[in-house]
Amino acid sequence: MNTATRLATYAAALAVVAGIGATIGSAVGPLRTTPAAAESHSAGAHSHGSSSAVTQLPGGLASHSSGYTFEPVAAAPGTFAFRILGPNGAPHTAFDIEHDKLMHLIVVRRDTTGFQHVHPQMAPDGTWTVPLTLPAGGSYRAFADFVPAGRLGLTLGVDLAVPGDFQPVTHQPSRVSEVDGYQVSLDGTLTPGRVSPLTVTVRKDGRAVTDLQPYLAAYGHLVALREGDLAYLHVHPDGAPGDGHTLPGPSIRFDTEVPTTGSYRLFLDFSHGGAVHTATFTVSTTETEGGTR
Ligand SMILES: [Cu+2]
């Protein structure tokens, strides 16, 4: 498909997405990354010395990377559908499980409100579908976080536009989140280019929660987005349920690495009382711990 055809297809497909008359936004073009650098989990990934200068970007900034393409397709109202095209241009169907799932889809409005984390199902032809409603006007970013079988993990992103009034929300630094009757606090500092331990602590009605339920093979799942461009950052829980030393709360530890100075929005999914809750934080690399508490 040439670019014009492809964009026309996107527009036609997205007009159907969730019945919202969406059109494609500014999905950026191919960007140069190396598979090893693009999604490396190692703190030293930035120091691979080489004469070939390669732009190393965090995940989620491109719809195409390392040979794979995130392509929305037409879907019934209230449903989002897409394919991941492989290096040969055909829909890719072989994926490895990561955090209990073959595919993680994160959708958030570009002002980082309305965060959703869902798990699409794949048909044999490689088409993924998931119920999805985008409730308010604005430009949204959809992230597909997956691992092609036998390869390194990737996060690809596309924009979804929803017509309607848009009132952007700004976020002040915040290390305490109130959600569904829970009080969730965040400790730790973000240091650019270094793995920084972050600890979240979950309380309900002021009492420590010590019976968190496993969710996505952990007691919590943390997504970090850089404010300004929504770079998507991998965050790894430290310890897993059943490993003999990780307790089911009240604290959950994460190893977080942010690439640059700036402000980051953090979204913590945790499971308790049979439901998944999402706590939200806003942390700047320049603030010192305790400065805003
Ligand atoms: Cu997920």
Say how many Å lie between the CA of residue 217 and the centre of ligand 1.
10
The encoded tokens of residue 207 equal: 């009492």
Say how many Å lie between the CA of residue 115 and the centre of ligand 1.
12
Whether 19 has a pLDDT exceeding 90, the answer reads: no
- The lowest-confidence range among 197-201, 251-255, 259-263, 289-293 is 289-293
Q: Would you place residue 6 in the very low, low, confident or very high pLDDT band (cuts 50, 70, 90)?
A: very low
- State the chain's mean pLDDT as an integer: 83
Per-residue model confidence (pLDDT) at position 45: 39
Give the 3-state secondary structure of residue 216: coil
Whether 8 has a pLDDT exceeding 70, the answer reads: no
Say how many Å lie between the CA of residue 173 and the centre of ligand 1.
25
Say how many Å lie between the CA of residue 13 and the centre of ligand 1.
24
Say how many Å lie between the CA of residue 216 and the centre of ligand 1.
7
pLDDT > 70 in the chain, percent: 78
- The lowest-confidence range among 2-16, 212-226, 269-283 is 2-16
Whether 280 has a pLDDT exceeding 80, the answer reads: yes
> Domains along the chain?
3-162 (no CATH), 176-284 (2.60.40.1930)
Per-residue model confidence (pLDDT) at position 55: 56
Say how many Å lie between the CA of residue 22 and the centre of ligand 1.
24
Say how many Å lie between the CA of residue 6 and the centre of ligand 1.
28
Say how many Å lie between the CA of residue 118 and the centre of ligand 1.
6
Residues 22-41 have a mean pLDDT of 37
Q: Would you place residue 163 in the very low, low, confident or very high pLDDT band (cuts 50, 70, 90)?
A: very high
The encoded tokens of residue 248 equal: 């089911």
Say how many Å lie between the CA of residue 3 and the centre of ligand 1.
31
Strand partners, 224: 233, 266
Whether 103 has a pLDDT exceeding 50, the answer reads: yes
Say how many Å lie between the CA of residue 61 and the centre of ligand 1.
18
Say how many Å lie between the CA of residue 119 and the centre of ligand 1.
6
- Amino acid in the structure at residue 262: G
Residues 255-269 have a mean pLDDT of 94
Say how many Å lie between the CA of residue 107 and the centre of ligand 1.
11
- Residues 6 or more apart whose Cβ sits within 8 Å of residue 2: none
Of residues 5 and 230, more confidently modeled? 230
Whether 3 has a pLDDT exceeding 70, the answer reads: no
Per-residue model confidence (pLDDT) at position 236: 77
Of residues 48 and 264, more confidently modeled? 264
Say how many Å lie between the CA of residue 69 and the centre of ligand 1.
19
Per-residue model confidence (pLDDT) at position 293: 39
- Exposed / middle / buried, residue 27 (Cβ in 10 Å: 0-12, 13-18, 19+): buried
The encoded tokens of residue 83 equal: 């394919």
Phi, psi values for residue 47, rounded to 5°:
-110, 15
The encoded tokens of residue 247 equal: 């307790």
DSSP-assigned letter for residue 243: S
Say how many Å lie between the first and final Cα of the chain, rounded. Answer: 53
Say how many Å lie between the CA of residue 101 and the centre of ligand 1.
7
Say how many Å lie between the CA of residue 99 and the centre of ligand 1.
7
Distance CA 254, CA 256 (A): 6
Tens digits of residue pLDDT in 49-82: 444 445 578 999 999 999 999 999 999 999 999 9
Say how many Å lie between the CA of residue 234 and the centre of ligand 1.
12
Whether 22 has a pLDDT exceeding 70, the answer reads: no
- The lowest-confidence range among 13-22, 122-131, 183-192 is 13-22
Give the 3-state secondary structure of residue 36: helix
Q: Which helix (H) or strand (E) holds 4?
A: helix 3-16
Residues 283-292 have a mean pLDDT of 68
**b/e 131-163 (16+ beta carbons within 10 angstroms → b):** ebebeeebbbbbbbbbbbeebebbbbbbbbbbe
Strand partners, 131: 79
pTM: 0.80
